Structure 1
Amino acid sequence: MSEVLEPERKLEDMDTDQLKEHIRVLVDQNEMLEESIRDISLAVDDFGWKPLGAAQPEQAMDLDTVKKIAETCRALVVVNPLVKRGIAVRTSYIWGGGVQLGDRSQSWYNRSVRRTMGTTLAQLELERSAAADGNLFFLVDIRQGTVQRIPMWEISGKATSEDDAEKVTYYKRTSTRYSGEQSPSYYQPGETQHVWYPSDELDTPPASQINGVRVDRSKRVVHVAFNRQVGWTWGVPDTFAVVFWSKAYKEYLENCATLARAYGQFAWKVIASTKKGHQRAASKVAQTPQRDPATGKYLDIGGTAVLGGGQDLQPLQNIRPVDFGAGLPLASLIAAGLEIPLPMLTSDPGSGNRATAETLDEPTRLAMEARQQLMDDALKSIAELLGQPDLQIEWPPLGEEPVHRRVQAIDMAGRTGMLYPDEWRAQILDALDIEDGRTEPPGKDDLPLTVQNAQQSDEPAQVDPPSRGDHELRDEGGQAHTEEV
């Protein structure tokens, strides 16, 4: 390939042939640059991975790679509306309106526990961090009885057992410690400190230092890793599986919007056989272009094309309409990566039917129950370090039946005599989420009529069978004539 002409030679000093050669060389170099960029984009697919079958002692992603992935996933959770919606659906499945951690009146449930994992806000933050980082770190102070959450970017190292690479015994934290008040008008540089913390899996007395760095023996780190495989130390974000597909779906919608904008530039067509006809038609349909109220620029949508005799221009939107819905297979991959049904992800009932939603409900429920159990084990490990080995955690039910079905089931159980009247009433109040303000149980006259009738009868109240049709003997109590063979 020819070289670009000397940069000190100005374009105005070149003749036509030199300019053509110069442009051709620039075009070639631009094509090579585009190919290089595409190669780099494809290389992202292998980002942080080692070749399969390579003679490496470790086939997992290292800490720096996980941190880089987490940076991308954090932005994706905040910016991309589909991913944000998917994480919100997962969070509502797993945490509901909040999880009750035992008795809040006990002494162990202090302000640090409430701030890090006790309130609804803290629990929603944990789930979003799990989706974006793939790892949660809790620093438990055994002496003070407090809990602190460590961000992923402050973890800088690990130490494992000699005979078990999966067993992490120490975590290294690199953080900046600030002293004094920080304000926009006054900033005092902080001090970077390096500290090792024992893991909750360490079953021997902790060391005093590692490689000359102090070990804080009064604390323990509880690490919760998501999507981890055998032999791995660090977890992988939930959103990492949908990074490329969310980008592909976003680009597809952008391209469709560009096409729709291009097709909308011509709204009318005028055909005239003479020049005067051109002018007359143009003067009748011409109008001042509208302006964008925000920018003040002329809008280039809804224009008119004036053509000559024998010429024709078909509206592009009628010939080739833009189908935004054709990109749903890309959205379905995002839904699959987040383990939620597609209709819930897109908030579009037209993207699925009832049969599809019911088919996907059971796998979704099981996946969310597995995440609940994972977090249940982690929260109980923290509570055990705080001196609460028997912590009871109340998780919200998954796939709860509608209220009217539950009331019907309770009513049928009461009518069959399986429930006492006070149990009957308590169950219905609980199903309707109504608090019972009475301090004493209701009297006989306060019970519903159906309950009073059931109490007066020794046998359970039975519902009269429905009529099977009119018959002349129905109202007389007789039986219809039947013939036996």
Structure 2
Amino acid sequence: MGVLDWLGLREAADDPEMKRLKGEVETLSFRLEESYEQLSRMFSEDAGWSRIGEQTERDLTPEGRKQATQICRVMAIANPLIARAIAVRTGYIHGNGGIGVQAADGKESGTQDVNSVLQAFLDDPGNRAAFTGHQAHEEWEKKLATDGNVYAILFTNPQTGFVRVRTLDSLEVTDIITNPQDASEPWFYRRDYEETTIGERTSRVTTRQKTVWYPALGYTPTRRMPVIDGNPVDWSAAVHHTAVNKVGKYGLGDAFPAIPWARAYTGFLDDWAKLTKALARIAWKLSGKRSTAQQARAALNSLPEAGGVVGMDPNTQLEAVPKTGATIDAESGRPLATMVASAFGVPVTTLLSDPGQTGARAVAETLNQPTRLTMQGRRDVAQETYRAILNHVIDQAVLAPQGPLKGGIKVDPYTQRQEVVLGNDDDRTITFTWPDLDDVDVAVITKAIVDADATGKLPPLTTMRLLLRALGERDVDETLEQWTDDDGNFIDPTTSAGDAAVAAFERGEDPADAIKRQ
């Protein structure tokens, strides 16, 4: 018997229970190693997602939004693809006359002229320059493409109720306070900006940093706090915020996801141009004896223009350099441009301005259903902004002591919200009209209007309004004004002066005035 046997160690080594435990330990060790490798892979994937999340958080900080806005603004000027995409969207949305506004004109007995109040606001030179004019519409759409946010600030004359609208730089709006119980309801907007003044005596230009809070449009608390965080609140103005691609409180420009692909397409074209230029440097290959080749080369270099003739001996050969193996197809970068078109929701054929080569012309000139709905959706965004601001214009015209409209405030029994109403429950509905997105043949539209009028169900003014819009008349309201009397009745252009005078006399009006209108 050995020492191990005497100590009992050999028996322990051969014990079946020990073998089983040893096997379990080895199995658990193997499973632990597998689990560790799997966990490592999961951590690696999570780390990637973590970086994406951190990047998103950085992009949505005030500094990140400012940097993104500045980059988008530069690209909208410097990159032709981004500039073209913004121009195409603007043309689809606001082109061909843009939005039309109509309200009750007060020609019915006892009603108020709401339309004149709205038209005075729309036609004001300052408002046209900042909000209602065509150039303002282009700047509006460009801001949505680069900034993703447009802040319209409304100043109201406390006596007359006339409203002036201007826009704030989105980089100046640094914070938004919302309802603590409802994040979708803004209360205040913080504006940090530099105020520039000119001294009255010294004529020196001085700047100073200012911070002002503005209430949101429609926010009318019972108690108006004068100061927030030590900075004043300007209750004489209200801010309406339009945001697209909204994340949290702020929007993100349409150009933001398109920038990497626009840069990639620009780089592709740059490389393609370099390759083409390199291939163009050597167009002919001259082979032969050295002296003869040098003479021929000198003769070729002395040719002043294309179409010249050079004389060579039979041992010298002149042949064009083959382009076999040289890839100079610029259309290979089309998928990159498609990504830019996708970001803006426009057809790539329209974006590249090349329907003849890259697609059927009929397809390029016609909007498909998704594009049409995208542009109509952006029109609805603009229409909602118009609706909110124009309703504010009507409210202020009622509430001001010298306002042109009469009415008051009542509490809605269902929503318990205060609302401004016109006297005698006059209609304050605002009607918006847009030109068709597709270029439909004028003859087809005119025939449809004529057929509808032949049914005798359409009022003459409605028929005339539809015809004027179909023919591309810009200011339909002013044209209709010339063909209506003081009570809003339609004056038929084919009616003679005598018939108009008789009709006016039967209505109890002055026949002379009717003849003058004829």
Same fold (TM over 0.5): yes
Does residue 202 of structure 2 align to residue 198 of structure 1? Answer: no
Counterpart for residue 365 of structure 1: 372
Aligned AA for 1:385? H
Counterparts of 1:404 and 1:321, CA distance in 2: 49
Does residue 264 of structure 2 align to residue 258 of structure 1? Answer: no
Bigger fraction of residues in helix: 2
Q: Match for 1:128 among 128, 131, 142? A: 142
Does residue 240 of structure 2 align to residue 233 of structure 1? Answer: no
Give the SS at the match of 1:237: coil
Shift in Å at residue 412 of structure 1? 6.3
Counterparts of 1:60 and 1:373, CA distance in 2: 28
Counterpart for residue 220 of structure 1: 238
Counterparts of 1:195 and 1:316, CA distance in 2: 69
Shift in Å at residue 375 of structure 1? 1.5
Shift in Å at residue 120 of structure 1? 1.4
1:305-384 alignment to 2 at 5 Å? 315=321, 317-349=323-355, 350-353=357-360, 356-357=363-364, 361-384=368-391
Give the SS at the match of 2:323: helix
Counterparts of 1:74 and 1:193, CA distance in 2: 25
Counterparts of 1:443 and 1:138, CA distance in 2: 47
Shift in Å at residue 400 of structure 1? 4.1
Shift in Å at residue 78 of structure 1? 1.6
Change (3 A) 1:169 1:429: closer
Q: What TM-score do you get using the length of structure 2 for normalisation?
A: 0.62
Shift in Å at residue 253 of structure 1? 0.5
Counterpart for residue 245 of structure 1: 261
Percent of pairs with identical residues: 27
Change (3 A) 1:264 1:215: same
Counterpart for residue 442 of structure 1: 494
Say which one has the larger Rg. Answer: 2
Change (3 A) 1:211 1:353: same
Please tell me whether the aligned partners of residues 101 and 432 of structure 2 are also in contact (alpha carbons under 8 angstroms). yes
Q: Match for 1:276 among 272, 285, 291? A: 291
Give the SS at the match of 1:266: coil
Counterpart for residue 481 of structure 1: none
Give the SS at the match of 1:152: coil
Q: Match for 2:182 among 164, 172, 180? A: 164
Please tell me whether the aligned partners of residues 48 and 61 of structure 1 are also in contact (alpha carbons under 8 angstroms). no
Please tell me whether the aligned partners of residues 48 and 65 of structure 1 are also in contact (alpha carbons under 8 angstroms). no
Change (3 A) 1:143 1:62: farther
Mind listing any 5+ residue stretches in structure 1 that lack a counterpart?
A: 1-44, 53-57, 291-303, 445-485
Does residue 408 of structure 2 align to residue 394 of structure 1? Answer: no
Q: Match for 2:193 among 168, 175, 190? A: 175
Please tell me whether the aligned partners of residues 176 and 188 of structure 2 are also in contact (alpha carbons under 8 angstroms). yes
Change (3 A) 1:355 1:158: same
What's the Cα RMSD here? 3.9
1:406-421 alignment to 2 at 5 Å? 406-409=445-448, 418=455
Change (3 A) 1:430 1:68: closer
Of 207-216 and 247-256, the range deviating more from structure 2: 207-216
Please tell me whether the aligned partners of residues 217 and 240 of structure 2 are also in contact (alpha carbons under 8 angstroms). yes
Counterparts of 1:161 and 1:370, CA distance in 2: 27
Q: What TM-score do you get using the length of structure 1 for normalisation?
A: 0.66
Aligned AA for 1:219? A
**Deviation string for 1:64-118 (max 9, x for gaps)?**
2112111111111122222212111111111123323444665545444333212
Aligned AA for 2:445? R
Counterparts of 1:429 and 1:159, CA distance in 2: 46
Please tell me whether the aligned partners of residues 176 and 190 of structure 1 are also in contact (alpha carbons under 8 angstroms). yes
Change (3 A) 1:431 1:135: closer
Aligned AA for 2:98? G
Give the SS at the match of 1:192: strand
Please tell me whether the aligned partners of residues 49 and 61 of structure 1 are also in contact (alpha carbons under 8 angstroms). no
Counterpart for residue 69 of structure 2: 70
Please tell me whether the aligned partners of residues 160 and 168 of structure 1 are also in contact (alpha carbons under 8 angstroms). yes
Does residue 60 of structure 2 align to residue 61 of structure 1? Answer: yes
Counterpart for residue 118 of structure 1: 132
Aligned AA for 1:156? T
Counterparts of 1:401 and 1:385, CA distance in 2: 36
**Deviation string for 1:175-227 (max 9, x for gaps)?**
22222289xx9751222211111122535233221111111122221111111
Aligned AA for 1:174? D
Please tell me whether the aligned partners of residues 147 and 252 of structure 2 are also in contact (alpha carbons under 8 angstroms). yes
Mind listing any 5+ residue stretches in structure 2 that lack a counterpart?
A: 1-48, 103-114, 396-427, 474-478, 484-490, 497-518
Shift in Å at residue 395 of structure 1? 2.6
Shift in Å at residue 60 of structure 1? 8.0
Change (3 A) 1:280 1:335: same
**Deviation string for 1:225-266 (max 9, x for gaps)?**
11114xx10000011111000000001011100000000011
Does residue 151 of structure 2 align to residue 137 of structure 1? Answer: yes
Aligned AA for 2:211? H
Counterparts of 1:372 and 1:324, CA distance in 2: 35
Counterparts of 2:493 and 2:443, CA distance in 1: 25
Higher RCO (CA-CA < 8 Å; seq separation 6+) = 2
Change (3 A) 1:263 1:181: farther
Shift in Å at residue 407 of structure 1? 3.9
Please tell me whether the aligned partners of residues 73 and 243 of structure 1 are also in contact (alpha carbons under 8 angstroms). yes
Please tell me whether the aligned partners of residues 83 and 239 of structure 1 are also in contact (alpha carbons under 8 angstroms). yes
Counterpart for residue 172 of structure 2: 154
**Deviation string for 1:414-466 (max 9, x for gaps)?**
8xx6469997996767644588999754379xxxxxxxxxxxxxxxxxxxxxx
Aligned AA for 1:267? A
Shift in Å at residue 335 of structure 1? 0.8
Shift in Å at residue 286 of structure 1? 2.7
Counterparts of 1:402 and 1:395, CA distance in 2: 17
Please tell me whether the aligned partners of residues 346 and 371 of structure 2 are also in contact (alpha carbons under 8 angstroms). yes
Please tell me whether the aligned partners of residues 198 and 204 of structure 2 are also in contact (alpha carbons under 8 angstroms). no
Please tell me whether the aligned partners of residues 63 and 234 of structure 1 are also in contact (alpha carbons under 8 angstroms). no
Give the SS at the match of 2:235: coil
Counterparts of 1:140 and 1:80, CA distance in 2: 34
Counterparts of 1:310 and 1:78, CA distance in 2: 53
